[in-house]
Amino acid sequence: MKKLYRFLPALVFLVFLAVMAGLLLFSPLKEYSENEKRYLAGLPEVTAEKIMDGTTQKELEKFTSDQIPGRDLFVGINAYWNLLTGRTGAQDIYYCKDNYLINAPKPYDEQTYLNNLKNFDNFAAGVGLPADLIMVPSTGYLMDRVLPISHGEYHDDVLYQKAIATLRNIRLIDVRQPLKDGTLRGQVCYRTDHHLTSFGNYLIYQTYQNAVGAPWVPQDAYTVTSYDGFYGTTWSGSGYQMIPPDKVDLWDSGAKVTVTLQDGGKEPVVSHSLFFPSHLENLDKYPVYLDGNHSLVEISNPDAGGGSILVIRDSYAHCLGTFLASSYQKIYMVDLRYYRDSLSEFLKEHPVDRILYLYGVDNMMTDTNSAWLN
């Protein structure tokens, strides 16, 4: 009996491995993870060449990691174990006070950042239009009061200083203080996502309109509808599955708009709403604003008092576009991650009054698609 007890842990472990292997082999494969918002690895292709160069082994490891039964449970156990053992400050996503999940600071890639600034600056000079840059601060910078004691350094202030020293043809609009002040009046940042809330975007819209000397729609003129159950990208990558969800607020000014979504050679999609309610059925509800990522979004509002504007942007502008739509007759929103045509030629056919660059500070250090500006 004593010998049996000695081998019992090993026996339990072997039985566990056998059960997990059986489930992995006979369970249906998942193509997409709703929690992680990404496609999962499928069965690797096995060839002699791939085995010899190690590709099959790497693909098999990725397949096993993605398809292992109970993956979400194990990821969650690991996340909470790190939290209990005081290692949340060493993770890619911090578990913070007030149930905030915040991305750790990105490595400071000065060369990529400066390249983006120079590409933006050169394009503005080439087309000869007044241009502004808004860099949305990171959640960790804006919500430093909720960060764990041990955390990395956020580079937002350094990035702003570099931009001031580098830009010659673009005005930098500083939204740091309006957003910081806004955190004392309402929820500016989502708890489970890296984007700003509608309130945070309204503060950016108000700051931008002030900077260009134009009026803005007052806050009490909007009809606000809230939807619960929003889990964003930081929640998806964290493993902290017991965090309560955010809510999504739709601020509707009543503007009569036409929204045209264009992607490559596909047929344009036309809508008469800034909001796309079908996304409210998903865990990640952020694409409810302008239907998420598209290479080109055109918004027309003939009743607006402002002129026309080209917004060169990343996903931080999805929600902001719903506010700008109340003040501009024509808005063209271009996402350089997907748009590959010449913007100079586009502007010849679609003249605008000014340009707005709008990017999150983290993307300014990592995104290289500004090289497509021409």
DSSP letters, 185-246, are TS--B-SSSSSB-HHHHHHHHHHHHHHTT-----GGGSEEEEEEEE--HHHHHH--TTSPPE
Cα separation, 253 vs 319, in Å, equals 13
Are 145 and 368 in contact by the 8 Å Cβ rule? The answer is no
User: What is the pLDDT at residue 242?
Assistant: 87
CA nearest 370: which of 340, 330, 345? 340
CA nearest 143: which of 118, 180, 112, 110? 180
CA nearest 321: which of 154, 134, 158, 148? 134
- Helix-then-strand count for the chain, H and E: 13, 14
User: What is the pLDDT at residue 90?
Assistant: 47
Chain-centre distance for alpha carbon 368: 16
Cα separation, 117 vs 163, in Å, equals 7
Torsions phi, psi for 248 (to 5 deg): -105, 130
Q: Are strands 32-33 and 38-39 parallel, antiparallel or unpaired?
A: antiparallel
Cα separation, 138 vs 363, in Å, equals 10
Cα separation, 297 vs 269, in Å, equals 10
Task: With a cut of 70, list the residues of the chain below it in pLDDT.
Answer: 1-46, 48-50, 52-91
User: What is the pLDDT at residue 363?
Assistant: 95
User: What is the pLDDT at residue 265?
Assistant: 80
The residues near 230 (Cβ < 8 Å, ≥ 6 apart) are 190, 192, 193, 245, 246, 247, 248, 283, 284, 285, 286
User: What is the pLDDT at residue 4?
Assistant: 56
User: What is the pLDDT at residue 88?
Assistant: 61
Cα separation, 295 vs 293, in Å, equals 7
Cα separation, 257 vs 354, in Å, equals 20
User: What is the pLDDT at residue 23?
Assistant: 47
Dihedral of alpha carbons 273, 332, 37, 187, sign: negative
Instruction: Compute, in degrees rounded to 10, the torsion defined by CA atoms 287, 263, 324, 162.
Output: 90
Cα separation, 94 vs 330, in Å, equals 40
Are 155 and 361 in contact by the 8 Å Cβ rule? The answer is yes
Cα separation, 215 vs 203, in Å, equals 13
User: What is the pLDDT at residue 60?
Assistant: 61
The number of beta carbons lying within 10 Å of the beta carbon of residue 172 is: 17
In a 3-state reduction of DSSP, which class is residue 290? coil
Residue type, 233: T
Dihedral of alpha carbons 228, 230, 231, 232, sign: negative
